[in-house]
Structures are given as C-alpha cells and as structure tokens.
Amino acid sequence: MAGLIERWRDRLPFGPGDPVVSLEEGSTPLVPAPTLGERVGAEVWLKIEGANPTGSFKDRGMTCAVSAAVREGAGAVICASTGNTAASAAAYAARAGLTGAVIVPEGKIATGKLAQALMHGATVIALRGNFDQALQIVRELAERRPVALVNSVNPYRLEGQKTAAFEILDELGEIDALCIPVGNAGNITAYWKGFSEMGAAPRMHGFQAAGAAPLVEGAPVEHPETVASAIRIGNPARWEEAMAAMRDSRGAVAAVTDEQILDAYRFLASREGVFCEPASAASVAGLLVHGAPEGAQRIVCVLTGHGLKDPQTALEQAGSVVPCDADGEAVERAIYGEA
C-alpha cells in the first residue's frame, strides 16, 4: 500500500515532482467493536491509528510536515512533545537525513516513546517543565533558528492528519459521530477539516482527561495531570479551531476521569482484543460514560496510539504472571487448578 501523500495527493498540497518522505503511513485498520457497540446501543468502529509505522496517528502529519521541510530546504526539525510527536518526528527526520531535536516533559513520557526518539537519533531534551512550556520554547526557538517546527501548529501536520477522515468515509460512507481524545487539539481540527472537505459533517465529540481539561473548563490549566500522559496538556494550541469543529458539527467536548480512561483501556484490550495507549482510550471512555450521542447509529472511535507505547501503565493495570517450576504437571496445575 502506498503512503498517504501518494494515496491522497490530489487533496494535499504536494505536486508530482515534490520530495516525499514516507514510511507508508495511513490506510490503518477500521475494526468493528461489537461488544462496545452492544454496550452503547449503536454500531461502533475503531480507527486503529496505532498501526501506523511509529505506532501513532502522528505519522500522518509527519510525512507531510517533513516532506514540506525537505522541499523548503530545511536541515533540521524540532518539536515539543508528550512523546508520540517526538517518536514520529525522530523517525521521519532519520528517514530524510535531517537532524531532529525533541523537547519532552521530564519523567512524563511513556517508555516506548522515549526509546523510539532515542533510537532514531534525535536529541532528546528532558525539560523540567510541562508540554505547554516546551511548546512555547520551541515556537520561539524556531523564529531564531533555521529549523522546521513540526508540532501541529504547522499546517502540513493537519493536512496529513485529515486523511484519516477520508479513509473512514471511503470505507463506511456516512458516519453519525466521531469520538476522539483531545490534547493539543490538532487532530480533532484535522478530522473536521477532512470531513468538511468531503462534504460530511459527523458530530465531533472530543474527550479530555479530567485533570487536563481546559476546553471543558473554558480556561487554561496551569498544572495538568493525568495517567494519559499523551494528553497532559493545559493550553491547547488549536483551542479555537477545535471548539469551532465541535460547535459547527453539533458535537461536544467532555471530560473523563483517569479511572474511566483506565476502565476503557482494559475493556478494549480484554474484550475487543485491541491494545491502545491510555490517552487513546479516552475516546471510548467518553462514549461509555456519556453514552452514544442522541440519534447516532454509526460511531467511530479514534484509537490514536498503540498500547505498547506505554508498557509500564499496562503492567500496572493488568493481571500478574503465574510463576511455575519447569515441570509439566506443575504447569497443568497452574493452568487448570488442583485436580
């Protein structure tokens, strides 16, 4: 399967001769979720964005942002990140032969994401501060230095990410509602752009973690906190656009607690066979807690990142292993209990 610039070139700002930096991202699985559907009384589908090359939806935006950076002659890329943008930027920079620097909140990004950014050779700065401060710093730095800023304030990021909406419409025709986690608010903005360009208008339901819910509270959160580290953001860059998307589509923004997020996280893994990271489960937590939007029969939940990104949270939430001697009968007893 081709990468997304190739697949959707006529709807993207890239000409036939332009350089393309791709890892064959996009074209991710759209999987029915019958157990979830039964619980909420609607047809529910999961858009598995963890199946992208670096394990998150960021690759959709990054193929476009890094391709544009190469076209513009940039030698380096930079971003602030809660982890996934860092992993994706590092991979696409490596692919393009650019240097990459990523600024992450110290101690607050999941292990898998850190391993990825380091393995791809990016300079990883652990900021003694949060994501919002990191974004402020890289925005200023990108003004002083010749470096491409690849956060979702970069319009190419949204161009790439809007293609997920195209894929959903391609497979399902119409849908009634989209449930999606909201952090820096780029992705919900991108989906709405994608749907709008195709003349579709599903209700956009954004979900934030209760400890990091500026859009719900209507004011920036100075010290955001949540187990869903990917969306631990207190002052989203795409605030106005995200609110407009939800208003114009007759959707809504709502909060889900860490407990509700973790319930949905375990439910998806144990009942639907789909392992996503905690932030991603916010979309499903929102659907479970707040119910299907009125009249919505066909709903898509976006699962933004792979569960393996955050093995620590998984091990804390899952059952424990069963230690056993290397003996057939002992194994049998361990599995089937005492005879």
Using CB under 6 A, list all residues that contact ligand F0G. Answer: 56, 58, 81-85, 152, 181-187, 230-231, 277, 279-280, 304-305
Shortest spacing between CB 167 and ligand F0G, in angstroms = 17
Q: How far apart are the first and last CA of the chain?
A: 52
Nearer to ligand F0G, 22 or 187 (CB): 187
Nearer to ligand F0G, 84 or 313 (CB): 84
Nearer to ligand F0G, 67 or 154 (CB): 154
Query: CA 136 → CA 80, 230, 306, distances in Å?
Result: 9, 17, 27
Q: Rg of the Cα trace of the chain? A: 20
Shortest spacing between CB 156 and ligand F0G, in angstroms = 14
212: closest CA among 138, 147, 131, 281?
Answer: 131
Nearer to ligand F0G, 82 or 163 (CB): 82
Shortest spacing between CB 248 and ligand F0G, in angstroms = 17
Structure tokens at 243: 């609110």
Specify the pairing of strand 177-181 against strand 298-303.
parallel
Shortest spacing between CB 329 and ligand F0G, in angstroms = 44
Which residues fall within 8 angstroms of residue 111, CB to CB, at 6 or more apart?
A: 310, 311, 312
Nearer to ligand F0G, 40 or 301 (CB): 301
Region for 8 from its dihedrals, namely left if φ exceeds 0, alpha if ψ lies in -120 to 50, beta otherwise: alpha
Shortest spacing between CB 153 and ligand F0G, in angstroms = 11
